[in-house]
Amino acid sequence: MNITIVGCGKFGSTLADRLSGESYDITVIDTDMNKLRRVTDNYDVIGYGGNGTSFKLLEEAGISHTDVLIAVTGRDEVNLLCCVVAKKGNPKITTIARVRDITYYQERAYLQQSLGISMIINPEMTAATEIARLLRTPNAIDISSFAKGRAELLTFNLGGHNPLVELPIARMNQKLGTDILVVAVERGGQAMIPRGDFVFQRGDQVSICGSPRNTARFFQKLGLSAGQVDSAMIVGGGEIGYYLAKQLCETNLSVKILEADAARCEELSELLPEAMVIHGSSLNRETLMDEGLEDAHAVVSLTNMDEENMMLSILTSTCNPTAKLVTKVSRMPFSEVLKRLNLGSVICPKEITAQHIVQFIRAMQNSRGSNVETLYRILDDKIEALEFRLQANSQVLDTPLQDLPLRSDLLISTIIRSGRTFIPRGTDCLKRGDSVIVVTSHSGLKDITDILRTSDRSPLSAMRRTEDVTR
């Protein structure tokens, strides 16, 4: 698939990184030669210097045989125009525009229809929606949804008093009376797909998979609340803070916004009459305490400074250790260091938005022959979780999983069949029409047959019985 990205800023660079790593043919365009050079030097892409709204430049960059154009410059109007010009040059092209202005975003349905744009995405709205989802399951630091919400993959930190500590995975469901699967664990910076004899330790970051009902029951059995928080303090009243507060107020949560700019406070008070808006700084400890930092069920740090957000989350963890923490970080060059700090769920808007776009493109691929419906990267991108839709005949169908020659470090974690979600056992078979969630440390899986060892991707008559990785 040929993809053109117009705009080589931070978000454009993130997209180039994600998409070039998925074996797409990427072309990037930017007027700033320094930005263009940084992207072409770091990633396997082709660069063109110039204005992405120029039809002549788009022609030179191969717009006639481009499958997708993604416009992510710093100006909404330029992004929309890029998509229009590209569509004129190639009526079959799929176009995606990043749009930040709330007026344009609210009119996205009209713009998409009238201008022929396939997808309009707002990074701040996307980040706010992700935060709101995390607040609905406060004990999870990351949540991924599959099969239209029928299955979930949740990641959480294992505290010292958790009943899982020193317990082997094989005994977990029996002890708790639950039906979920541990699909990945990160310990000491190393991510792994554990076996049944793996023993949990304090400090592990654990990823589990199951139906929403079963994952909620799992947290309840651990003595952890599964319901959403009742009150939230949002520190930083920018666009993400506004969108988040609006969503939370609509669900009748008690919302308090702390904002340093007095004019913005007045604006937020008019826009969000249900929320309490406080004029104050995140750096003023006395103000934070007076406004209830110690009692808030959730504290969401959304200022424009990563350092302020991190310091606020660390402060909250010391004075309010049970609060759900969400920390916005715009730059994540030291993810291993960040994980050692008590920051709760770390949100990076450009990474979330990039993932949404990658998922959209993968859905396009699916309609063109690939059967990957959804892909998430977890545990600092060390592990992939993929949803396959089994629509055609395949050599993996109707054979007990314990008899499939599966690749190492790969787990068939969940099957969704006729609306029913279940964890497969060794005697279960994959059926046509199933949605199957596969968790693996391998990257680049495109087809369900890629779960098999390379030498065994042929008729299964010569297949050997292998160890049951589904436990």
Per-residue pLDDT tens for 347-398?
999 989 998 898 888 777 765 545 677 888 888 888 999 999 887 777 899 9
CATH superfamily, domain at 2-121: NAD(P)-binding Rossmann-like Domain (3.40.50.720)
SS3 284: coil
CATH 3.40.50.300 fits domain 141-221 = no
Amino acid at 343: L
Q: Which pLDDT score is estimated for 229?
A: 84
% pLDDT > 70, the chain: 93
* DSSP letter assigned to residue 393: -
Report which secondary-structure segment, H or E, holds 86: helix 76-89
What is the tens place of the pLDDT at every residue in 231-280?
999 999 999 999 999 999 998 899 999 999 999 999 999 999 999 999 99
Whether the per-residue pLDDT at 443 is higher than 90: the answer is: no
β partners of residue 152: 145, 210
Mean pLDDT, rounded, of the chain: 89
Q: What is the mean pLDDT of residues 405-428?
A: 93
How many Å apart are CA 200 and CA 198, to the nearest integer? 7
pTM of the full predicted structure? Answer: 0.81
SS3 43: coil
How many Å apart are CA 403 and CA 45, to the nearest integer? 41
- Span 352-462: which CATH code? 3.30.70.1450
Sequence spans of domains, the chain? 2-121, 141-221, 231-347, 352-462
Q: What is the mean pLDDT of residues 170-180?
A: 93
At residue 185, what are phi and psi to the nearest 5 degrees? -140, 135
Domain 2-121 identical in fold to domain 352-462: no
Q: Is 62 left (phi over 0), alpha (psi -120 to 50) or beta?
A: left
Answer yes or no: are the C-beta atoms of 289 and 312 closer than 8 Å: no
Burial status of residue 265 (CB atoms within 10 A of its CB: 0-12, 13-18, 19 or more): middle
Q: Which pLDDT score is estimated for 156?
A: 92
Answer yes or no: are the C-beta atoms of 439 and 387 closer than 8 Å: no
β partners of residue 426: none
- Span 231-347: which CATH code? 3.40.50.720
Q: Which pLDDT score is estimated for 464?
A: 36
Burial status of residue 159 (CB atoms within 10 A of its CB: 0-12, 13-18, 19 or more): middle
